[in-house]
Amino acid sequence: MKRRILPTGYPAAALTAAFIFAAIAALIRLQTFPGLDEKIAARVQEWESPLLTSGMTFLSWMGSGLPLVLLTAVIMGLLYRMLGFRREIGLIAFTALGSALLNTGLKHLFRRPRPEVYRLAEAAGFSFPSGHSMAAFSLYGLLALLLWPHLRGKPGKTVLLAAAALLILAIGLSRIYLGVHYPSDVLGGYAASGCWIAAVLALYRKLALAAAGNRSRE
């Protein structure tokens, strides 16, 4: 299968996402909009119902620990078997691991306590940024970017982007609904993960171009 070089623009995207993350962190630290997080979270929790709680609990479970690791492994296996992905599998694993380590580091840097509100689930550790949001954005966002060049028709690309966006947003929303994260934790997670993915893809593209240039000179 012919390798397709990823598009340009990743360094600028990484800087933009980093700026957004820094802005969110600053607004939280300075308490620029006191009570806004709580008001939004309370409005989301007004939707509570047994069926919705079950769905949100499942989405949250999908974005955590072992289930996410197993899902990532299955996806990598399918990509290898169906599309012949090899380097891309290493890219997915590296991005996922880096996202988890980055999240841990950022949580210990900001040390924001979790919401003291009505909870439908329990969670330990610090709150900002949301680990589930970062993991979902890293996995499904990266998959969408890697699969995009392999889809020719506009309908297929539209479905791909819609599915990735829906999963990312739903997992982030589930953490707010369950009362274990503030909305700003989720937004911060998206921004941090977006910065990380863009930086990794910028490096990956540079290495891919260098490898292609070496092959052309052989």
161-205, pLDDT tens digit by residue?
999 999 999 999 999 999 999 999 999 999 999 999 999 998 888
Please identify every residue annotated as catalytic: 132, 181
Percent of the chain with pLDDT over 90: 45
Three-state secondary structure readout of 138-203:
HHHHHHHHHHHHHCCCHHHHHHHHHHHHHHHHHHHHHHHHCCCCCHHHHHHHHHHHHHHHHHHHHH
- Say yes or no to pLDDT of 1 above 50: no
- Say yes or no to pLDDT of 4 above 60: no
Cα–Cα distance measured from residue 60 to residue 135, given in angstroms and rounded to the nearest whole number: 11
Q: How confident is the model at residue 65 (pLDDT cuts 50, 70, 90)?
A: confident
Whether the Cβ atoms of residue 149 and residue 97 lie closer than 8 Å to each other: no
pLDDT digits (tens, 9 = 90+) for 93-106: 899 999 999 999 99
Indicate the average pLDDT of the chain: 86
Cα–Cα distance measured from residue 66 to residue 72, given in angstroms and rounded to the nearest whole number: 10
Percent of the chain with pLDDT over 70: 93
Q: Could you tell me which of 109, 132, 138 has the C-alpha nearest to residue 182?
A: 132
DSSP state of 137: I
- Say yes or no to pLDDT of 214 above 70: no
Whether the Cβ atoms of residue 164 and residue 143 lie closer than 8 Å to each other: yes
Residue 48 has which token pair?
Answer: 């509570």
Q: How confident is the model at residue 215 (pLDDT cuts 50, 70, 90)?
A: low
pLDDT digits (tens, 9 = 90+) for 125-164: 899 999 999 999 998 998 888 888 777 778 888 898 999 9
Q: Rounded to two decimals, what is the model's pTM?
A: 0.87
- Say yes or no to pLDDT of 90 above 90: no
The stretch 79-85 carries a mean pLDDT of 77
* DSSP string for residues in 41-86: HHHHHTT--HHHHHHHHHHHHHTSHHHHHHHHHHHHHHHHHHH--S
